[in-house]
Structure 1
Amino acid sequence: MGGSIAGLFAARVLADRARQVVVLEPDEITAEAGTRAGVPQDQQVHTLLPAGHQWVERWIPGVTEEARERGASLCGPDKTVTALNGFPQASYEGGHHMLAIGRPLLEGLIRDRVTALPHVSLVRARATGLRYTDGATDGVRFVPTGADGHGTQEEETLAADFVVDAMGRSSRLSHWLEEDGYDQPRLERLEAPVNYATALFERPTTFEDLESAAVLQLFTPDHPSGGVSVAAANAIEGGQWLVMLMGYGDNRPGRTAEEFRAACAKLPGIFGEATSGALTRPVVAYHQADSRRRHFTGAGGLPARLVAVGDAVASFNPVYGQGMSSAALHASCLASYLAGGADLDTAATEFFRLQQVVVDAAWTVSAGGDAARLDAANGTEVPEEVRRQRWAMEQILEATLTDGDVSRAFQEVSYMLRHPAALADPDILKKAMAANEGTVTP
């Protein structure tokens, strides 16, 4: 249920084990990817983190090369810059690659490859409910959708041996389960009001050294960045720069080209260069009020033969770029669950246990920073243990500017290659403190 990236990854995994895979997607799918009504943020910057990139190639080998042939950039460590308050984080040997690409193109490439499999089909329809037999999901109720995205016919039922909810953060699955007498997964919300503004600019050929680049600038609240908390510039297909500005709360990046360029002029030089070309698409704004997750592991009375993936389970602050990579990791959990001899006649407890490891790790990275920002804004008194944990993270973040080992550990956690627990290693904190020479006090 849902043909976005999470649903497509799940379909790809199921294709290895099912006689037939049907993807129900209400939005119109055209030959050219374009925008979809169900993905209001698809015109914003999207980052396929190294972990996500690895899994994309695992499930759909060759998609990276196809993306590059279409003009996307595969950015290695020499073309990827992450900076704090205008200062680049320390380099280290090795490094990782990120795919700089527009979300519509990436989703289109994945969709084309998955739906080209002989036993995978895509049906334009909106899921409206589930059917059960003896405590197990055995069908999906749906309404075919027309050009306007609304139902055009009577409700039908599609028989199914296994059902995946990939309907995104607005999924109605919890509501259906409660109506049908099953446990409703607990919904957790964390206020994180983010305001995005993204624009596309021509990428002049004179910037040859920048033609394959991904730049991410992070700013602490006390840094004078004109209200911009995060800025990103990706060299994507079409010879364009995709540039994003993000602010929290009342800080809203400019909506006009003039306001956008004025904000970029206050940032490190790369942003002035990236926005110097002709505007190829108007500035697009996006607002998200909160991060949210649904706790399926705590819901004891779930039907069998049913799982959920992607934003239907956890939808994070998008500035951390975890969404697409989380979807790929959820698919890997599904593959492990099915390969492990899953008992499909009982609730998918083992799948949700595997998935929780991924969700907890991503939530720790994004929600940790947002909770600290929220507490500071509200003047909330935090427990001593939490205060010291945040102090330790400040030490680590500061040390990423000067110590390559600390920078590697931090980036590998940010890239979803290592669990956040890696940053709790006493040796990492000692290195950070030594690099900072005590400049951040507890």
Structure 2
Amino acid sequence: MESGVVLGGSFAGLLAARVLSEHADDVVVIDSDDLATGATGPGAPHREQLHALLSMGHRQLERWFPGFTEEALAEGALLGRGPEVQFHVDGVRKVDVPRLRMLSATRPFLETLLRRRVMALPNVRPLHGRATGLLDDGRRITGVQVAAPGAPPGPSGAEHTVLGADLVVDAMGRSSRLGSWLRANGWDAPPVSRMRIDLGYATALFARGDELPGTVIAHATPGPANHYQPRLSEPGALAAVEGGRWSVVLAAYTDYRPGSDPERFLARMRRCVAPLRTVADSCTMLGEVRTYRFRESARRDFTRLTRFPGGLVAVGDSVASVNPVYGQGLTLAALQASSLAVHLRSGAHPHTAARGYFRRARTVVDAAWSTATTADLAQPHVTGPYPRGYRLTRWAGDRLMTASVHNREVNSAFMDVLHMNAHPRTLASPALLLRVALTRPPR
């Protein structure tokens, strides 16, 4: 392959560029932010929110960038192990999973390290601009049309150029325009599945001292005892991040969404579990409270298309974007990049329709979608669509969640699924269900 073009230079796009670097002579990453300067501007307004890098995502980063963990730790990130990572359900701390590991840092910090490693590759280069459309020859995508930074909207003009490519990767995120571009070129757009959840979340930074020794991450969520209702069990999470800071996020739905008022944010922290109460009482808030709204989970199913051009794939939120409270987004992007790597290493020609890639990517998307939407349907304002057998799945899930608070083996299996180390179907194994049935809360 002579050339590859990646549309979008955030987490998913950078990982895709790393994959393409092993197959293309020249890889161009187009972004509306100037990647050469390390900018993370308005292209992703949620970047400043607390993001989770699950265990599988951490493993994938280390796979593609050996030594990434040591580099991140040297520059201020933290690595939580076992009891340093706490999970609470209905205000009760779950039994620890000793082998659990989570890298804790802000998303801009991780993207900066990632960008530095990717842009140091000899055949990868950034292009500051905005993709405005696709070019094709009736069989495959042959390139993209690019507008210069600040150019007015429009399909043509002196400030627009054409960039040829053997393979184009859509990493434009939730706002991807790929569907409309495909229709404009005579192709079908992928069908979209949606689940409206009306989530709001807010993140604030605090000065970190020794007020929580031995804690790197603490996460609290309502569970079966409180009918999964945020009003009954205040959800939130904190993570120790670079620069001697705590990053704290609060999340809830509909009219209970957190706002940007600092005093109200602190008041909600004080109704949460002990680690968040301690930070609210002991630490100084740094800067403002940043809010973000997530109206719906959405996925585009490329495998359902009967006609699809060659020379084109999609990764990250361009394929699927699920409720961020479960922290799957970064890890899902990493697994899709690995799916692309397997596809290209299989000998598939980049000019042919990438059906093999989309089938592989669908496997990991199905797992994330199942985990997130099954949990979301427990919220009374979420009205479906309900999957077949939902009532039985919900009944079993409630009992598994309750058992995971006290039973280490059950919690280990539960966390493997949450961290995308295992498929959700593993939670239905007879041996695990027997452990769930036999688990009784301590008196």
**Pick from 390, 406, 411: which aligns with 2:394?**
390
Query: What CA distance in whole angstroms lies between the structure 2 residues aligned with 1:180 and 1:46?
Result: 36
Classify 1:372/1:209 alpha carbon distance in 2 versus 1 (closer, same or farther; 3 Å).
closer
8 Å CA contact retained: 1:227, 1:252? no
Query: What CA distance in whole angstroms lies between the structure 2 residues aligned with 1:415 and 1:338?
Result: 26
Which residue identity is paired with 2:191? R
**Pick from 55, 58, 67: which aligns with 1:53?**
58
- Alignment map for 1:121-140 (pairs within 5 Å): 121-140=125-144
8 Å CA contact retained: 1:228, 1:247? no
Q: Does 1:258 align with 2:263?
A: yes
Q: Does 1:427 align with 2:431?
A: yes
1:423 Cα deviation from its structure 2 partner: 0.8
8 Å CA contact retained: 1:254, 1:263? no
Which residue identity is paired with 1:195? G
1:379 Cα deviation from its structure 2 partner: 7.8
CA deviation vs aligned residue, 1:63-118 (integer Å, no higher than 9, x gap): 222211221111111200111011122234x4221111011111111011101111
Query: What CA distance in whole angstroms lies between the structure 1 residues aligned with 2:343 and 2:322?
Result: 24
CA deviation vs aligned residue, 1:160-190 (integer Å, no higher than 9, x gap): 1111000001100011111111121001110
- Alignment map for 1:35-46 (pairs within 5 Å): 35-46=40-51
Which residue identity is paired with 1:218? T
1:136 Cα deviation from its structure 2 partner: 1.0
- Matched residue pairs, number? 431
Classify 1:148/1:207 alpha carbon distance in 2 versus 1 (closer, same or farther; 3 Å).
farther
Classify 1:406/1:155 alpha carbon distance in 2 versus 1 (closer, same or farther; 3 Å).
same
Query: What CA distance in whole angstroms lies between the structure 2 residues aligned with 1:81 and 1:277?
Result: 20
8 Å CA contact retained: 1:191, 1:291? yes
Which residue identity is paired with 1:76? R
Map of 1:100 onto structure 2:
104
Q: Does 1:164 align with 2:183?
A: no
CA deviation vs aligned residue, 1:29-75 (integer Å, no higher than 9, x gap): 46455x42011111111010000000001111122222112211111
Query: What CA distance in whole angstroms lies between the structure 2 residues aligned with 1:162 and 1:232?
Result: 39
Q: Does 1:175 align with 2:180?
A: yes
Q: Does 1:218 align with 2:221?
A: yes
Which residue identity is paired with 1:45? L
Map of 1:309 onto structure 2:
315
Which residue identity is paired with 1:285? T
Query: What CA distance in whole angstroms lies between the structure 2 residues aligned with 1:249 and 1:30?
Result: 39
8 Å CA contact retained: 1:395, 1:429? no
Structure 1 segments of 4 or more deviating over 6 A? 147-152, 378-384
- Alignment map for 1:142-153 (pairs within 5 Å): 142-146=146-150
Classify 1:129/1:223 alpha carbon distance in 2 versus 1 (closer, same or farther; 3 Å).
closer
Classify 1:186/1:379 alpha carbon distance in 2 versus 1 (closer, same or farther; 3 Å).
closer
Question: Which moved further from structure 2: 421-430 or 114-123?
Answer: 421-430
What RMSD in Å do the two structures reach over aligned CA positions? 2.3
Map of 1:4 onto structure 2:
10
1:228 Cα deviation from its structure 2 partner: 6.2
**Pick from 334, 354, 369: which aligns with 2:340?**
334
Which residue identity is paired with 2:365? V
1:341 Cα deviation from its structure 2 partner: 0.8
Map of 1:277 onto structure 2:
283
Map of 2:30 onto structure 1:
24
**Pick from 190, 205, 221: which aligns with 1:185?**
190
Tell me the SS of whatever aligns to 2:47. Answer: coil
Query: What CA distance in whole angstroms lies between the structure 2 residues aligned with 1:27 and 1:149?
Result: 17
Tell me the SS of whatever aligns to 2:199. Answer: strand
Query: What CA distance in whole angstroms lies between the structure 2 residues aligned with 1:312 and 1:69?
Result: 33
8 Å CA contact retained: 2:377, 2:386? no
Query: What CA distance in whole angstroms lies between the structure 1 residues aligned with 2:278 and 2:382?
Result: 37
Q: Does 1:111 align with 2:115?
A: yes
8 Å CA contact retained: 2:301, 2:319? yes
**Pick from 62, 69, 74: which aligns with 2:67?**
62
Which residue identity is paired with 2:274? G
Query: What CA distance in whole angstroms lies between the structure 1 residues aligned with 2:417 and 2:197?
Result: 21
- Alignment map for 1:222-261 (pairs within 5 Å): 222=227, 226=231, 230-261=235-266
Query: What CA distance in whole angstroms lies between the structure 1 residues aligned with 2:412 and 2:370?
Result: 18
**Pick from 298, 322, 341: which aligns with 2:328?**
322
Structure 1 unaligned regions, length at least 5: 438-442
Classify 1:214/1:147 alpha carbon distance in 2 versus 1 (closer, same or farther; 3 Å).
farther
